[in-house]
Structure 1
Amino acid sequence: MPTVKDIVVRKPTQQEADRCKAWPIWTCEPSTFDWSYTEKETCLILEGKVTVTDREGSIAFGPGDFVIFPQDLDCVWNVEEAVKKHYNFG
C-alpha cells in the first residue's frame, strides 16, 4: 500500500506545465478531509497550501508544485489556504 512517501513533489518541466493547462481545474476552500486515490493523479498547484498526511507522515506543497499521487493511497488532505489546481487522473 503506498504512503505519502510515494508522493512525488517537484517543479514541472516547461513541457509538463504547458500540458497541464489543458487539464480541468479543481478548487477547494480551507478544509480537512479523507481521500482515497483509486487511480494515479497528477496535478499542478496554481494557488494555495496543502499538507497531505497518512500513517507514515506528511508532505506539504503549494503554488508551482507538480504533484503525482500514487494509486491506492489513503490519506487526509488539510487545505490550509484555498487551493486551485490543474489535475489529471490515470
Structure 2
Amino acid sequence: MTAGIKVEQASDDKLEELEVKSWSVWEKEVSEFDWFYDEREVCYLLEGEVEVETEEGTVSFGKGDMVIFPEGLECVWRIKEDVKKHYKLG
C-alpha cells in the first residue's frame, strides 16, 4: 500500500455485494498521465495492467484487482496494457 492506495483481490461474493457490475465503465489505451483524486474512488479492473506512482512509491495492479484511491491523492498513471474497469466515486 502506498499513499493510502489499497489493492486487494475481490471474491465473487464481494463483487456481487458491492454491485460492481452496475458501476460505470472506463477504458483507456496504453499511456501515461498525471491524475488528482478530488474524491475517493473504488475500481475493479476487468482488463489491463497499471502502475501508479506517488511521492511514496509505485503501486502495481491489474485484471481482477479491486483498488481504492483516497481523496486528495496526486499521482502518475502508467498504463502498461489497455485498461477496462468498473469504478465508483465518492
Normalising by structure 1, report the TM-score: 0.92
For each residue in 1:30-50, what CA deviation from the matched residue of structure 2 results, as whole angstroms up to 9, or x when unmatched? 000000000000000000000
Tell me the residue number matched to 1:4.
2
The percentage of counterpart residues that share the same residue type is 45
Q: RMSD across aligned C-alpha pairs, in angstroms?
A: 1.3
Gaps of 5+ in 1: none
Please state which structure has a larger fraction of its residues in strand.
2
How far 1:15 moved relative to its partner? 3.5
Query: Using the alignment, how far apart are the partners of 1:8 and 1:86 within structure 2?
Result: 16
Contact 1:50 1:81 (8 Å CA) reproduced = yes
**Within the alignment, does 1:89 sit opposite 2:85 as a pair?**
no
Query: Using the alignment, how far apart are the partners of 1:9 and 1:53 within structure 2?
Result: 14
> Could you list the runs of 4 or more consecutive aligned residues of structure 1 that deviate by over 6 angstroms after TM superposition?
none
Tell me the residue number matched to 1:39.
39
Normalising by structure 2, report the TM-score: 0.92
Tell me the residue number matched to 1:22.
22
Aligned residue for 1:21, secondary structure, equals helix
Tell me the residue number matched to 1:77.
77
Query: Using the alignment, how far apart are the partners of 2:14 and 2:40 within structure 1?
Result: 16
Query: Using the alignment, how far apart are the partners of 1:15 and 1:74 within structure 2?
Result: 31
Gaps of 5+ in 2: none
For each residue in 1:38-89, what CA deviation from the matched residue of structure 2 results, as whole angstroms up to 9, or x when unmatched? 0000000000000000111100000000000000000000001000000000
